A and B are shown apart, each in its own frame.
Chain A
Amino acid sequence: GQQVMQIPQYQHVQEGEDFTTYCNSSTTLSNIQWYKQRPGGHPVFLIQLVKSGEVKKQKRLTFQFGEAKKNSSLHITATQTTDVGTYFCAGYNFNKFYFGSGTKLNVKP
């Protein structure tokens, strides 16, 4: 069945370092969304990518959708302690979203 794999599982960085998380789908996706979940909280929508090769930026965050619409990445430049949390990708196909297992980001001040 459809799967969305996400790596790495954990990432520990020093404040100011960059961070990247990657998602790969076993099949072509209609679109992909990214969410952030703080410890003890619920997922909060960050962005949606729809077009092949699409790149979107939100301040220090850069999101990419692969040409084949099977992979995506989230890159954070110069991490801050407020970036701490788990980042999930969610690929959409046929009325449902397939979430990756998430990348847990820890930022040391």
Chain B
Amino acid sequence: GAGVSQSPRYKVAKRGQDVALRCDPISGHVSLFWYQQALGQGPEFLTYFQNEAQLDKSGLPSDRFFAERPEGSVSTLKIQRTQQEDSAVYLCASSLNRVSYEQYFGPGTRLTVT
């Protein structure tokens, strides 16, 4: 079946622009995570959804970052007034139900802020 998909795969934004990154999880997966991965580093937790409920957003670096999953499937990560330090790969992962199950990662969106 289809895996986790993310769009766009690449995004170049000028500093100060707003961006929206989309994640389509595997159908039926309850849990959804967003991560930020800097070059040469491990994924860093941003936020977690169980269905439409955002249960943990403690990893969002600032109030410029906002995530939603209104119908419990597709999720959007929005970054307002992008800064150069926001440049990274943003990964989305979904898991079947309980959060401790294996995560299936999407290909990521590489964001470059110029």
* Stretch in B64-72, B78-86, B102-110 touching the partner: B102-110
Q: Which 8 A-B pairs have the closest CB atoms?
A: A99-B42, A45-B102, A42-B105, A96-B45, A95-B56, A99-B43, A43-B105, A101-B42
Are A97 and B33 interface neighbours, CB within 8 A? Answer: yes
A3 to B36: give the CA distance in the assembly, Å.
16
In this complex, the interface size class of chain B, counting residues with CB under 8 Å from chain A, is 20 to 34
Which A residues lie within 8 Å of B42 (CB)? Answer: 6, 88, 90, 99-102
Decide if A44 is an interface residue (CB 8 Å cutoff).
yes
Are B91 and A95 interface neighbours, CB within 8 A? Answer: no
B56 touches which one: A41, A88, A96, A98 (CB < 8 A)? A96
Are B99 and A95 interface neighbours, CB within 8 A? Answer: yes
Are A45 and B103 interface neighbours, CB within 8 A? Answer: yes
A-B residue pairs in contact (CB < 8 Å), sample of 20: A31-B100, A33-B102, A42-B105, A42-B106, A43-B93, A43-B103, A43-B105, A45-B102, A50-B100, A88-B43, A90-B43, A95-B48, A95-B55, A95-B56, A96-B58, A97-B33, A97-B103, A98-B45, A99-B44, A100-B42
Number of interface residues of A (CB under 8 A): 24
Decide if B41 is an interface residue (CB 8 Å cutoff).
yes
A44 to B105: give the CA distance in the assembly, Å.
7
Query: A42-B91, A92-B100 known; A97 and B107 CB under 8 Å?
Result: no
Q: DSSP class of A's interface residues: helix, strand, loop or mixed?
A: strand
Decide if B59 is an interface residue (CB 8 Å cutoff).
yes
Decide if A73 is an interface residue (CB 8 Å cutoff).
no
Decide if A30 is an interface residue (CB 8 Å cutoff).
yes
